[in-house]
Structure 1
Amino acid sequence: MVQMAASHACYPIEEDYEILRHAGYFPTFTHISGNEDCNPESWICNEISKDYAYDYHEIFLRMLNSVDMPQSHWLLKSPLHIFCLDKFLQIYQNALLIMTHRNLDEVLPSLCSLSLSGTELYFDNTNSISRDRIIKRSRQFFDTQIECIMKF
């Protein structure tokens, strides 16, 4: 977990990502799946509608808002929204989207490192087959994110 902390900035408030995980919307599980046929694109784009996750997300935020309203607005910054931007904007019609940009030469190694550190509990990091599969799936995950943004 030390490597995970070094790979990814942690903030005291990360409710957006956690709300989606509560709803069962957690495509990063494809990185650690033992199923060789499991890949991010098939799970994210083809398997099931993600409407349920955003219905849950909206209800959860509404309840959270009733007891702990932010001073100005909610900042929803989970990268998982990339896969369902149409649904996201259907639920949050007044949302403003901000797209940040980083050099792909920095982002892809960072994503692979984050994926490897996030799965270190499940795999021996000296196991090259597991490591190579996680890196391959990280690249597939990233490719799918780019495709979703381009389609949107």
Structure 2
Amino acid sequence: MAEADGATERDQASGSCATCGKGLAKYRCPRCTTRSCSLECVKAHKQQSGCSGKRDRTAFLGRAQLDERSLLSDLRFLEEVQLADEVAKRAAPARPAMLLPRGLQTLLQQAKRRGVELHLLPMGMAARKTNTTRYNPKQGIMEWRLEWKFQSAPNFKPVNAR
């Protein structure tokens, strides 16, 4: 095993491919810095070593290793975290169901009872104002309003039929 490790270190120091040992290494794995000469060798390296090929963005870097590239990478990472946080906040319910009118509370409860995940648009949106979906307690059924939009006929206006 020591010989294989020594050969790999020697190959990497000489600039040859650590996977096949034949070609001149053009690529370096961002995760483990293994040098490769081609896409086939990169894929073989990932398969043999189980390496993901992705740099560990949370790994510690000493002062000597900090450069403009690593700082930009850190900045992008922080921006992605911030974006994920904002998306999660937007996906959360805007307000508790108790603040909704009684009819909408009933609609949500009946949908949930039927295994339907119902999302309501925020107040003031045009689509919410025109929506007539409701629960009919006398008949025990949900009455849905569907709106079809055809890409091939964007100006098509359906006739309200009952």
| TM class, shorter-length | under 0.3
Report which of the two has the higher share of helix: 1
Which protein shows a greater Rg? Answer: 2
What's the TM-score once normalised by structure 2's chain length? 0.20
Report which of the two has the higher share of strand: 2
